[in-house]
Amino acid sequence: MSESRAFPVLLGIITAILVTAALQLGQSVFAPMFFALFVIAVVWPVQRSLHALVPKPLALALTLLGTLVVLVGLAFLTAWGFGRVGQWLVDNGGRLETLYLRKIDWLEGHGVVLAGPLAEHFDVRWLVRMFQQVTGPLQSFLSFVTLTLVFTLLGVLEVEPTRARLAALAQTGEGAATLLRAGTATSEKLQRYMLVRTVMSLLTGVVIWAFASATGLELAAEWGVMAFVLNYIPFFGPLLATVLPTLVAVIQYGSWETALLVFLVLNVIQFLTGSYIEPRIAGAALALSPFLVLVAVFFWTFLWGIAGGFIGVPILIAGLTLCAENPSSRWVADLMSGKPAAA
């Protein structure tokens, strides 16, 4: 590679690293801001429809109130589910320790000499620490929601003036026209994404609740609620929603075989709803490369934790939509989409 070509590549890599570092260091500001942009894209059409029926201040107030109810409701359901499961595990920790030691004895009887040292380090208190680590970020959720609502309020007020300015600039510049088209298309796609994701989350939660109830697995309602909430976070959420019931099944039934069956059935449910039914409902408009979705979820979770895991796919959708609306970068959207190649 010649020096003239190497310099722009090196400059691009350095810029990407600096931007990533800035996003992580400024998480307390950037995460609520990006989340607010996502919320605005989803709720703005609702606010505009309400404005046709009631005065604009009332429409804005109703939109923000509905947004707050949804966000707080999801946080409450998550905290309730994890709290109930955590308390159950603590109450039944002795059963888990007994089962663990029994299996250790079985391994030692079959010549696995490392089982004894492992048994010495087993402590039920790790269950408490695990759930504290999982639910700890929820304690800062209130400040996150407050800042997000402030950004959302200011952003919703700016949507119409910004659209008007872009429409005026579009008469003289292609860049403004591209942004206007990308903004409209992104809003439509994110609305469809959230609608499909919500329907599939509800379906997943109901099916898992029904399965847990039919098999007598304890905390059936909690598993259904947690499956519904966690399904909004691709990959990580469904995985956590299957591992925790499996752990409870091990303690409740005292059988690894039964727990394995529970784990397999829950994964089949998650696969059918997330990888088979959902793509057919979402359609080609939301077709994304599974690899790219996984990268986006890992990357934004690394940067911003739970909020990043939730917002990673919407950011990916917005970025690819912007690329698709620009002729010079349309090939990027085509390459990274999940659409089959044209014959």
Rounded-to-integer distance, Cα 161 and Cα 155, Å: 10
**Which tens digits make up the pLDDT trace of 273-316?**
877 777 777 665 567 777 888 888 889 888 888 788 888 889 98
Compute CA 2 distance to the chain's CA centroid, rounded to the nearest angstrom.
42
Q: What is the mean pLDDT of the segment spanning 163-189?
A: 80
Two tokens, residue 248: 């409870």
DSSP string, 79-141: HHHHHHHHHHHHHTHHHHHHHHHHHHHHHHHTT-TTHHHHHHT--THHHHHHHHHHHGGGGGH
Q: Which has more pLDDT, 182 or 126?
A: 182
Smallest CA-to-CA distance from 334 within 294, 284, 297 is with 284
pLDDT score for 294: 83
Residues 312-322, mean pLDDT to the nearest whole number:
88
- The predicted model scores a pTM of 0.79
Q: What is d(CA 58, CA 122) in angstroms, rounded to the nearest whole number?
A: 57
pLDDT, one tens digit per residue, over 39-52 is 888 888 888 888 88
pLDDT-derived band at 135, boundaries 50, 70, 90: low
Query: 3-class SS at 232?
Result: coil
Q: Give pLDDT, residue 98.
A: 67
User: pLDDT value at position 202?
Assistant: 93
pLDDT greater than 50 at residue 343: no
Sequence spans of domains, the chain: 30-336
Instruction: State residue 103's pLDDT score.
Output: 60
Residue 171 has what pLDDT? Answer: 74
What's the pLDDT score for residue 89? 77
77's CB contacts (< 8 A; 6+ apart) are 225, 226, 228, 229
pLDDT tens digits along 58-97: 888 888 888 888 888 887 888 888 888 878 877 776 666 6
> Residue 201 — very low, low, confident or very high, per pLDDT cuts 50/70/90?
very high
Which pLDDT value is given to residue 283?
A: 60
Q: Is the pLDDT of residue 255 over 70?
A: yes
